[in-house]
Amino acid sequence: MKRASISFLLIILTIGIAVLANEKPTAQFNFTNGKTPYTVLFDASGSFDPDGSIVAYQWTFGDGYTGAGKKVSHTYLGSGSFDVTLVVFDDAHASGTATQTIVLTEEGTLEEVSKVQTASRASVPVGLKVGQAAPDFTLKDSSGKEVSLSDFLGKVVILEFWRSTCPYCRDSMPHLQELLNKYKDEGLVVVLVALDWNMAAAQSYLYMNGYTGFINLWDDPSQGDHRVAYIYNVGSIPHALLIDRHGVIRYTGFPGHLLDSDIAPWISQK
């Protein structure tokens, strides 16, 4: 009986610790015009739970009405400014909240300015796994200007570690250029972190091969353990990460395996 009691207490204690350690989910949503006047489509697909799953989405639309679901449609009675709130609940009963203001014109459409939201870094643990916030860093570009990863909050970022003498890195460049050309007008940026012994070699390769629009940074090999490559635990190259508008890692791996289906959900996220 004593052993059974001790085992039962250990189970209760383990469950209690797990509940206390639960990370809160992050609520995020975007919105677009519906097919009819005063109708707005809300999409919470960008919401996430770093250590579990979201089980419920609750909305208040700012006009006295409420709704539920990851994707919802709501029709307002007229023009005006409305504070829309999304509350998400995870499988451990924790919640996260996001509020945005929308403005509907007399014609029943969203004002464009209302779609521009100030991006903030997601309140999730920093790490290198999908669902964690990418570690921030600062490196110099080809002109000597300091650039930080956090400068691109509000953008979707493909971050690639590469070297100009690496044949697999060279093979990945056309794919990155294709993705950039396709999504740059929707907020995609490609940040290259060169691991060459000098920045000129990397810059020359990109220029001579017509790769344009990339943000080129140099991770000076002489910096040893202080290099960004060490912070990101880059064991082989090329190595790419897809980072959403709020600084959260959504893909990590070989750049050639990064598909439109991996990017599209985060491009639509506002």
30-115 against 138-267: fold identical: no
pLDDT band at 170 (very low <50, low <70, confident <90, very high): very high
Residue among 189, 244, 198 nearest 28 (CA): 244
User: How large a percentage of the chain has pLDDT more than 70?
Assistant: 88
Distance, in Å, from the CA atom of 135 to the CA atom of 155, rounded to the nearest integer, reads 16
Residue 105 has pLDDT above 90, yes or no: no
Q: Of all residues in the chain, what percent carry a pLDDT higher than 90?
A: 50
How much is the pLDDT for 112?
56
d(CA 95, CA 23): 9
d(CA 196, CA 218): 8
Prediction pTM value: 0.59
- Mean pLDDT across the stretch 158-180? 95
d(CA 168, CA 66): 51
CA 72 vs. chain centroid, Å, equals 22
Mean pLDDT of 82-97: 88
What letter would DSSP give residue 75? E
The CA-to-CA distance between both ends of the chain, in Å, stands at 57
Q: Is the pLDDT of residue 237 over 90?
A: yes
Mean pLDDT of the chain: 85
Q: What is the pLDDT of residue 213?
A: 86
250 touches 244 (CB < 8 A): yes
Question: Which class does domain 30-115 fall in?
Answer: mainly beta
Predicted pLDDT at 19:
45
Pick the more confident residue, 12 or 202.
Answer: 202
Name, in order, each residue with C-beta under 8 angstroms of 104's C-beta and a sequence gap of 6 or more: 38, 40, 76, 78, 79, 80, 81, 82, 110, 111
* Domain chopping of the chain, boundaries: 30-115, 138-267
Phi, psi of 241 (to 5 degrees): -130, 145
Find the range with the poorest average confidence among 96-105, 106-115, 183-192. Answer: 106-115
The matching CATH number, chosen from 3.40.30.10, 1.10.10.10, 3.30.1600.10, 3.90.550.10, for 138-267 is 3.40.30.10
**CA 225 to CA 219: how far, in whole Å?**
11
135 CB neighbour count, 10 Å cutoff: 14
Above 70 in pLDDT, residue 27?
Answer: yes
| Average pLDDT estimate for 91-100 | 85
DSSP 122-161: -SS-BSSSTTSBPPP-EEEETTS-EEEGGGGTTSEEEEEE
Q: Which one is predicted more confidently, 95 or 74?
A: 74
